[in-house]
Amino acid sequence: MTDKAAWPALPLAAWRATCDTLHMYAQIVGKIRLALAPAEPEWAHVALYVSPLGLTTGAIPYEGRSFQIDFDFVGHSVDIVASDGRSHSIPLVPRSVATFYRELTGALTALDIDVKIWPMPVEVPNPIRFTDDETHASYDPEAARTFASVLVAVNAALEEHRAPFRKRHSRVQFFFGTFDLAYARFSGRPATPPDQSVIMRNAMDAEEICVGFWPGDDRFPEPGFWCYALPKPPGAEELVVEPAAAFWSHEMGEFMLRYEDVRRSDDPHAALRAFFSSTFAGLSALAKWDEA
């Protein structure tokens, strides 16, 4: 049985202000990685990764050195560590996105790291330039620590699901644009992106089945797990998947499983494994991946 303490409650309404602020902080850090890392298919070079304490960029190359930026939601800091031994730490406290942007870019400059990013959030409604955003300025340390705990538990389940797959697949990765933890498997066939925007053109040009987790948004205002196939095979919405609480959302166009239903189950880890494996088995069969 999985330790139920690893799956604490995470109601979006209780920490929405902090969640939205951290989303903007993550966009700034993610854009730094985007600016410096070699481009990879499906935007793999922009993702963050779950660490024991929160999120990390991993090593980012820079002019013969490397550095990484870590979100520590347990000690409540953003830490920059460079390969030459220098480092800088910024406390995570309530502060505006504009202030965080100035402090982070100033810290990089102090470490002789000069990077320019487009200071506009992506994939969010009503974006505000980082340099002007005084609206998002919340940080609830207990909520952030709970979020880190959930990320660690979900990451473990996704890594276990990922481990045996032998064809092309992604790492378990956290995307700053959508603020979600995702893992994708690919059939090897190309796909037509949903639109020709720069994000979709580079993110969805390969046939995939993707699963993941996010804390919720205006479309689905609670934390949940999801699974979609690109392109959606005919009959996908008729599939019977596990666990019993999972369902097809016509609004979202994908399978959904509420986080609350997972954490209240007898074995949350097993419930997630069932969701990941059953959705992949059903969707890949409908899409005839064995023929790819």
Q: Which residues contact 248 (CB under 8 A, 6 or more apart)?
A: 236, 237, 239, 254, 255, 256
pTM of the model: 0.96
Count of residues making up the chain: 292
Q: List C-alpha distances in Å: 11 to 71, 149, 265.
A: 21, 14, 17
The Cα–Cα gap between 262 and 269 comes to: 8
What are the DSSP calls for 141-208, one per residue? HHHHHHHHHHHHHHHHHHHHHHTT--SSBPPPEEETTTTEEEEEEEEEEE---SS-SHHHHHHSSEEE
Give, for all 292 residues of the chain, the pLDDT tens digit.
456 778 999 999 999 999 999 999 999 999 999 999 999 999 999 999 999 999 999 999 999 999 999 999 999 999 999 999 999 999 999 999 999 999 999 999 999 999 999 999 999 999 999 999 999 999 999 999 999 999 999 999 999 999 999 999 999 999 999 999 999 999 999 999 988 888 988 888 999 999 999 999 999 999 999 999 999 999 999 999 999 999 999 999 999 999 999 999 999 999 999 999 999 999 999 999 987 5
Q: Which residues contact 125 (CB under 8 A, 6 or more apart)?
A: 218
The Cα–Cα gap between 227 and 10 comes to: 20
Per-domain residue ranges of the chain: 7-132, 141-291
> If you search the block for the tokens 């074995």, which residue do you land on?
267
Q: List C-alpha distances in Å: 140 to 2, 73, 157, 165, 263.
A: 27, 10, 26, 38, 22
The Cα–Cα gap between 74 and 205 comes to: 37
The Cα–Cα gap between 201 and 67 comes to: 29
> Beta strands of the chain (E only): which ranges?
49-51, 54-56, 60-62, 65-72, 77-82, 87-91, 173-175, 180-190, 206-214, 224-230, 247-249, 254-258
Tokens (6 digits) for 256: 């959904």
Say if CB 231 and CB 192 are below 8 A apart: yes
